Amino acid sequence: MSTPSGPEVQPDATDVVDNRTAATRCEVLIVGWEGVLTEPVSLTELDHEVVDEVIDRILDTVDRPDMIELLHQLREEDILVILALNSIAEAQEVLATRYLDTGAASALVNSAMVGHRLPESAFLELCLEVADCSPDAVLFVHHDEATLAAARRAGMQTISVEQTRPSSVQSAIETIRARFGQ
């Protein structure tokens, strides 16, 4: 597999939550959730109220029934779905329960757990390592142009979506369905 140049990432088993079964198709959808944290935050700076607010913002932004339904449909077709986001470690359990345990996603790559953030090449390299496919088999969905540009430089196909605009989400869903033959 051809991967972009940059620092080598060597995650251990606790860095990425991976809940997949063997995929029969080497096709991958990586959904980068709307930026919840724009800058790295020291966990010592966060109190419980702030943690709860950040988790609520994540869920409010990404819990779109139409998108979650699509993720389930893709998983039923053995398409690997990776959720990639810049978040806090305290959100990991909630995210894993909500998306991995329900089968909406195959793997979760959280910046707080892996030590790299979107749009860093090391974060994208880790996503590609989890995908275990060539970059051209990956469709990366995100709202931020810098992140999309980094994904394209890494060889991935991209779709821009503003998750807070229903028309943008619907357009992205239609494009994703067409890409994966849904």
The residues spanned by each domain of the chain are 22-179
pLDDT at 120: 94
- Say whether domain 22-179 belongs to CATH 3.40.50.10300: no
Residue 113 has pLDDT above 70, yes or no: yes
pLDDT at 34: 47
pLDDT at 46: 52
pLDDT at 36: 43
Mean pLDDT of 104-118: 91
Instruction: Please answer whether residues 176 and 139 qualify as being in contact, where contact means their C-beta atoms are separated by less than 8 angstroms.
Output: yes
**Taking the model in full, what pTM does it have?**
0.74
Residues whose CB falls within 8 Å of the CB of residue 117, separated by 6 or more in sequence, listed in order: 40, 86, 111, 123
pLDDT at 109: 92
Whole-number average pLDDT of the chain: 77
Strand order in the sheet with 138-142: 17-18, 107-110, 80-85, 28-32, 138-142, 157-160
Place of tokens 């909406």: 104
